[in-house]
Amino acid sequence: MSVDQGKGERSRRDVLASAAILTLAAAWPARAAGRRHVVVIDKMAFGAPPSDVKVGDTITWTNRDIVRHTATERSGAFDLDLPPGASASAVMSRAGVVPYYCRYHPVMRGEISVGV
Amino acid sequence: MFKCLLVVGALALAPLSAAQAQSHPQASAPAAQPSDPQIAHIAYTAGQLDIEAADQALAKSTNAEVRAFAETMKRDHAAVNEQAMALVKKLNVTPEANATSTALTEAAARERERLSGLSGMAFDKAYIDNEVAFHRTVNEALRGTLIPGARNAELKALLERGLALFQEHQAHAEQLARHVR
């Protein structure tokens, strides 16, 4: 019984400790990330991908072409409509390589490397 | 089918050379290049013809990919032609009809007539194949004749922007041509 209870207390402590770590982990990217990056679209091409992008950062696409574009993530994480001269943004919510393209001009492709 | 494409390509290209030789038969200036008003007319005409081809596709096709492509052709060529109209107005230039724009128009009319007799997948394939051939022809003309020949810097810049766009259209059409068969 007492052993069980002790186990229970340990588990509770472990849970609390884990929760504290998780809270710190959650707070950490919020401090380190949250920066803004810009990708310019011009002459039917997405500009060079920004470097040092982290989860929680915002990417803004700006369309300098005279035709309408989109920035559409392959798995549907974001799908931004970009009329000529317009800008639109998406927050990078997961780490990894984020491939995207223009729905109207599928030959136009880009990707962003998102770190934790 | 392939023969048809070759004919369209040849028809559209041959008058380009003819226009180069004949654009100013009496002028003492070098006769090799079309003038800016002629270049503007060729570029504008090519855009309008592709919009008309897209209208035909939207009236006849039920293929989602083909329809989406046609919608993009309409939207993009309308946007470029709107810029072209604004530019010629600003420069106070009147686009001038010429042998090349006439030949493009005639070839497109023949193609539209041929496509009107097709339906279903046969139409989709013919439309996309023609889009590949048409953009290839126009891009070759832009690269080889129209951009090097344009004297006005703003016209040249708009043609260069057009070339980047139409190269994407050509690649997109080539990609579709591999699906739609």
Q: Closest residue of A to B79, CA-based?
A: A67
Cβ separation of B80 and A65 shorter than 8 Å? no
A positions 29-88 inside 8 Å of B (CB): 43-45, 65-68, 84
Contacts of A27 (CB under 8 A, 6+ apart): none
Q: Is the pLDDT assigned to residue A49 strictly greater than 90?
A: yes
Cβ separation of A67 and B171 shorter than 8 Å? no
pLDDT tens, residue by residue, B27-62? 444 445 899 999 999 999 999 999 999 999 999 999
CA angle B165, B170, B173 (to 5 degrees): 125
Residue B22 belongs to some domain of the structure:
no
Question: Among A28-37, A67-76, B58-67, which stretch is predicted with the lowest mean pLDDT?
Answer: A28-37
Beta bridge partners of A87: A62
Q: What sign has the CA pseudo-torsion B76, B82, B87, B88? A: positive
Q: How far is residue B64's CA from residue B68's CA, in Å, rounded to a whole number?
A: 6
B55's tokens: 């209208």
Identify the pLDDT of residue A44.
Answer: 97
Taking each continuous run of H as one helix and of E as one strand, the counts in chain A are 1, 9
Cβ separation of B168 and A66 shorter than 8 Å? no
Model confidence at A47, in pLDDT bands (50, 70, 90)? Answer: very high
Give the CATH architecture of domain A36-115.
Sandwich (2.60)
Q: Closest residue of A to B81, CA-based?
A: A66
The Cα of A51 is separated from the nearest Cα of chain B by a number of Å equal to 26
Tell me how many domains chain B contains: 1
Complex prediction ipTM: 0.81
CA-wise closest residue to B31 among B17, B40, B21, B18: B21
Residue B5 belongs to some domain of the structure:
no
A113 vs A1, higher pLDDT:
A113
Beta bridge partners of B171: none
Cβ separation of A105 and B75 shorter than 8 Å? no
The structure's pTM equals 0.79
- In total, the C-beta contacts within 8 angstroms joining chain A to chain B are 36
User: Would you kindly state where each structural domain of chain A is located, as residue ranges?
Assistant: 1-32, 36-115
Cβ separation of B168 and A44 shorter than 8 Å? yes
Please state the length of chain B. 181
Residue that the structure tokens 């090799």 belong to = B32
The Cα of A24 is separated from the nearest Cα of chain B by a number of Å equal to 47
Contacts of B5 (CB under 8 A, 6+ apart): B129, B130, B132, B133
Q: What CATH number corresponds to the domain at position B72?
A: 1.20.1260.10
Residue B23 belongs to some domain of the structure:
no
Please answer whether residues B136 and B170 qualify as being in contact, where contact means their C-beta atoms are separated by less than 8 angstroms: yes
Residue that the structure tokens 């051939």 belong to = B133
Q: What's at B19, amino acid-wise?
A: A
The Cα of B143 is separated from the nearest Cα of chain A by a number of Å equal to 15
- Please tell me whether residue A48 adopts helix, strand or coil conformation: coil
Using a 10 angstrom Cβ sphere, with 0-12 exposed, 13-18 middle and 19 or more buried, the burial of residue B120 is exposed
Cβ separation of A108 and B161 shorter than 8 Å? no
Identify the pLDDT of residue A32.
Answer: 55
Q: Closest residue of B to A109, CA-based?
A: B168
Cβ separation of B75 and A44 shorter than 8 Å? no
The Cα of B5 is separated from the nearest Cα of chain A by a number of Å equal to 23
Residue B137 belongs to some domain of the structure:
yes
Q: What is the mean pLDDT of chain B?
A: 87
Q: How far is residue A64's CA from residue A43's CA, in Å, rounded to a whole number?
A: 8
The Cα of B172 is separated from the nearest Cα of chain A by a number of Å equal to 6
Out of A43, A84, A106, the one facing B79 most closely (by C-beta) is A84
Measured between beta carbons, the chain B residues lying within 8 angstroms of A84 are 79
CA-wise closest residue to B48 among B3, B95, B10, B8: B95
Which segments within chain B are labelled E, that is strand? none
Q: How far is residue A37's CA from residue A57's CA, in Å, rounded to a whole number?
A: 8
